[in-house]
Amino acid sequence: MAKPVHLDIVTGVAARVELFNEPPPPASAGGHRGGRGKAPPPSRGVNAMRLVLRDVATGKDKEFVIRNCTVGVHDQHRVTIIRAKQNRKKDLRIVAVINQSTGQWEDRPAMIALVSTPNPVFGPLWKAAFASLGVAGLVFAANRLSPIVEGAGPGGSLWFGFLWGLIAYPLFWAVFRVWNSVTHKRRARLAKELLRAEIDHQVAIASALATAIKP
């Protein structure tokens, strides 16, 4: 079974650290939920850190923007960034930041939950539709080979197969809905376990290094 999430782990030395405040998103012209014509409440924006790491594996600089980060980082600190994404997605999400020089770290539960939530290509409605079409095709073929309805021509056999497919659709939908619920929970649990195990592993490395460099 393929891994439910793809991990990207970068460990490097902080070459540049910049703290800044991201401006809040612009207010819509129509006001906000507080009432028509009322001005939106003031926003302080989002605290963010732009971190440039010199990758210890490749020697190349990689830039990360981390919002609301609670881990302090200074130049020359050794830092590990753990990012993850679902296998069919393109965007990597930061799920943990670990300062190996100080032993300080944080995970990001919101991103872990987002990455761990399955995103199926076909939901139960589509799966039920495909299964019902299969039933309709089988009934049509069976009625042509060994007529169930006497005297039914191609049109009658097609209608008979369609009727059986229509009858089977609600049953298939219920089955696939339960199946999707069970498999999605299992995949989400496996994804979270994988992420937690990797985070714990990197935190253990950071703790050992932080202890080793203390005077």
**Distance of CA 106 to CAs 60, 88, 99, 138, Å?**
24, 26, 9, 56
Q: Tell whether 68 is covered by a domain.
A: yes
Q: Tell whether 141 is covered by a domain.
A: no
Q: Tell whether 177 is covered by a domain.
A: no
Q: What is the pLDDT of residues 50-82, one digit of tens each?
A: 999 999 889 999 999 999 999 999 999 999 998
CA distance 77 to 102: 8
* pTM of model > 0.75: no
Q: What's the structural domain count of the chain?
A: 1
CATH number assigned to the domain comprising residue 62: 2.40.50
Q: Higher pLDDT residue, 165 or 41?
A: 165
Q: Higher pLDDT residue, 66 or 116?
A: 66
Mean pLDDT (the chain) is: 77
Q: Tell whether 85 is covered by a domain.
A: yes
For the chain, the straight-line distance linking the first and the last C-alpha, in angstroms and rounded, comes to: 46
The domain containing residue 75 runs over which residues?
5-117
Task: Using DSSP bridges, classify how beta strands 61-67 and 46-55 pair: parallel, antiparallel or unpaired.
Answer: antiparallel
Tell me the two tokens of residue 90: 């393109």
- Helix or strand holding residue 43 (H, E): none
Q: Higher pLDDT residue, 150 or 100?
A: 100
Q: Tell whether 89 is covered by a domain.
A: yes
Measuring CA to CA, which residue among 34, 28, 24, 71 is closest to residue 51?
71
Mean pLDDT lowest for which of 36-40, 97-101, 104-108?
36-40
